[in-house]
């Protein structure tokens, strides 16, 4: 059964004895599994098999951790059929069964199927039988015999006769899950904002965290959503990772996630919904944004506890959710894009509107974002209102800025892949040791960085983040060595204090 980002093997043992008819399940089973007794009983009878009128005990081993979910319906039913000699014990050898049963014996898809198949492969099982609706996700795991059954009767007949006519992963093509992203805009739809577009290009190319500040209506939210269309396609490994998380969260049980996630939680979201947790320690928004974008609109409006909880996953690219009896770790390698107003009313520094906020209100507004959190944001930009002439400018397909920028980003990512010899590794994720061993700065760049570090009192984190951003700028220009202008541009994206 799924257990966090990985799985845990559960053996279903059965015993049948004389006595008053009874059906008991032991082994730290929660309410969902205890209710399986009625589902299993009805499914067996309605599938044309007999349910023994004897004392039946099902044990879920190992018994020292809590089992939950409907994954064990099918193996429990098969255990009873073995106990009543309607199936042979040999029919179960080196085979793993998983699935939820309906009252009429149909098999329903379960979540976390990729975790289950990966565990079966590691544990030495040579065949996996599961609900047919789970097959599209099972296709992602190679070198494993996986079969899908429509109902209990079809599966049992296959086991009895030995003639396997069930649909397998060889007969299934990858089915894309319909992701209602809500962002169809491209850079061509963004009028003016040359600095913001440049910053977005750098941020996406190097997977850098970005904070956009500006008055209402300046296009901050549109810029953030455009970034989703600039991201490269998911690799095969990344598709498995992302789909695995969505399947575990119950957001995709039959399809495959093939597009990079774009998560946009509201500022009223709780810390558990963002970080993950709950009774079952499920993944939160930061894990659902893995290999994609986490967009936080109006950043200061989020609770302080939520923002501070982002500090560790922003640095470590992973999150461990601990609850009573549960401790699950999930990947959280996301790109953070956040927006904010310059003040509570939003018009500080606006030429066309007067700011009505007091100095104290402005200070308290900015204090909502702590120094350690801001230190983890690689790039900061300020946008202004777009003038009317730029708003009316027309763009044709022949001079599409979006296509040119996306091609440049793709080339920059290719250079990173070649340099680091690994997919999915961006400049933003380099450690200080990797920076000192893999990246080269020209003498002029080193001198400029040293001078800026002293005059701006850069922290060690800010120092290395400046180099990472400069390396991305150099990649966009096709330069092997970081030059002075690259450092200068990277420094221009620092937060002014």
Which phi and psi angles does 6 have, rounded to 5°? -110, -165
Please give the pLDDT value at position 19: 85
Which comes out higher in pLDDT, residue 5 or 276? 276
Which phi and psi angles does 365 have, rounded to 5°? -65, -45
Instruction: State the average pLDDT for the chain.
Output: 89
- DSSP-assigned letters across all residues of 257-312: --S--EE---TT--HHHHHEETTTTEE-HHHHTTTSEEEESSGGGS-HHHHHHTHH
Kindly indicate the confidence band of residue 478, based on its pLDDT and cuts at 50, 70 and 90: very high
Distance CA 316, CA 450 (A): 27
CB 264 within 8 A of CB 292: no
Which phi and psi angles does 303 have, rounded to 5°? -55, 145
Three-state DSSP at 68 gives coil
Kindly indicate the confidence band of residue 390, based on its pLDDT and cuts at 50, 70 and 90: low
Please give the pLDDT value at position 350: 81
User: Does the pLDDT at position 495 exceed 80?
Assistant: no
Which comes out higher in pLDDT, residue 100 or 351? 100
Residues in contact with 273: Cβ distance below 8 Å, sequence separation at least 6, in sequence order:
265, 284, 285
Distances (CA, A) of 473 to 7, 263, 274, 429, 477: 41, 26, 31, 15, 7
Kindly indicate the confidence band of residue 388, based on its pLDDT and cuts at 50, 70 and 90: low
User: What confidence tens digit (pLDDT) does each residue in 244-302 have?
Assistant: 999 988 888 878 999 999 999 999 999 999 999 887 788 999 999 999 999 999 999 99
Number of neighbours of residue 303 by Cβ within 10 angstroms: 15
Please give the pLDDT value at position 496: 59
Kindly indicate the confidence band of residue 192, based on its pLDDT and cuts at 50, 70 and 90: confident
User: Does the pLDDT at position 375 exceed 70?
Assistant: yes
Which phi and psi angles does 327 have, rounded to 5°? -150, 100
- Domains for the chain: give ranges and CATH numbers: 2-171 (3.30.230.10), 187-399 (3.40.50.300), 430-497 (1.10.8.60)
pTM: 0.89
């Amino acid at each position: 059964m799924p257990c966090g980002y990985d799985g845990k093997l559960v053996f279903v043992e059965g015993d049948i004895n004389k006595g008053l008819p009874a059906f008991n399940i032991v082994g730290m089973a929660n309410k969902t599994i205890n209710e399986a007794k009625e589902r299993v009983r009805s499914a067996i009878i309605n599938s044309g098999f007999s349910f023994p009128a004897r004392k039946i005990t099902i044990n879920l081993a190992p018994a020292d951790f809590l089992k939950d979910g409907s994954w064990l319906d099918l193996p429990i039913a098969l255990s009873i059929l073995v106990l009543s000699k309607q199936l042979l014990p040999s029919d179960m050898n080196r085979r793993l069964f998983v699935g939820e049963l309906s009252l009429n014996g149909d098999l329903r898809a379960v979540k976390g199927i990729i975790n289950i198949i990966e565990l079966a492969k590691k544990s030495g099982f040579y065949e996996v039988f599961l609900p047919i609706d789970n097959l599209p996700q099972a296709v992602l795991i190679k070198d494993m015999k996986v079969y899908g059954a429509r109902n209990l009767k079809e599966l049992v007949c296959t086991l009895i006769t030995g003639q396997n006519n069930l649909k397998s992963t060889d007969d299934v093509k990858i089915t894309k899950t319909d992701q209602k992203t809500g962002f169809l805009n491209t850079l061509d739809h963004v009028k003016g904002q040359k600095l913001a577009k440049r910053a977005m290009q750098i941020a996406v190319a190097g997977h850098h965290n970005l904070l956009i500040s500006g008055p209402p209506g300046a296009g901050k939210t549109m810029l953030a959503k455009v970034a989703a269309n600039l991201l490269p396609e998911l690799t095969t490994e990344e598709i498995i990772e992302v789909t695995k998380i969505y399947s575990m969260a119950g957001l995709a049980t039959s399809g495959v996630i093939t597009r990079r996630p774009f998560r946009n939680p509201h500022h009223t979201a709780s810390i558990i919904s963002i970080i993950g947790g709950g009774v079952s320690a499920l993944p939160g928004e930061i894990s659902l944004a893995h290999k994609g974008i986490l967009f936080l609109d109006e950043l200061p409006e989020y609770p302080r506890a939520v923002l501070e909880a982002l500090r560790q996953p922003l640095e470590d690219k992973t999150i461990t959710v601990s609850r009573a009896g549960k401790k699950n770790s999930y990947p959280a390698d996301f790109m953070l894009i956040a927006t904010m107003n310059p003040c509570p009313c939003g018009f500080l520094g606006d030429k066309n509107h007067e700011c009505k906020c007091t100095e104290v209100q402005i200070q308290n507004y900015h204090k909502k974002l702590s120094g350690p959190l801001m230190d983890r944001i690689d790039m900061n930009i300020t946008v202004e209102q777009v003038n009317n002439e730029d708003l009316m400018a027309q763009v044709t397909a022949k001079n599409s800025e979006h296509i040119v920028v996306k091609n440049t980003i793709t080339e920059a990512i290719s250079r990173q892949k070649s340099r680091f010899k690994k997919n999915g590794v961006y400049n933003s994720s380099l450690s200080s040791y990797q920076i000192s061993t893999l990246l080269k700065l020209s003498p002029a760049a080193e001198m400029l960085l040293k001078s800026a570090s002293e005059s701006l009192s850069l922290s060690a984190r800010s120092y290395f983040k400046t180099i990472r951003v400069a390396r991305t700028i150099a990649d966009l220009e096709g330069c092997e060595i970081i030059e002075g202008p690259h450092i200068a541009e990277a420094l221009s994206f620092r937060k002014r204090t």
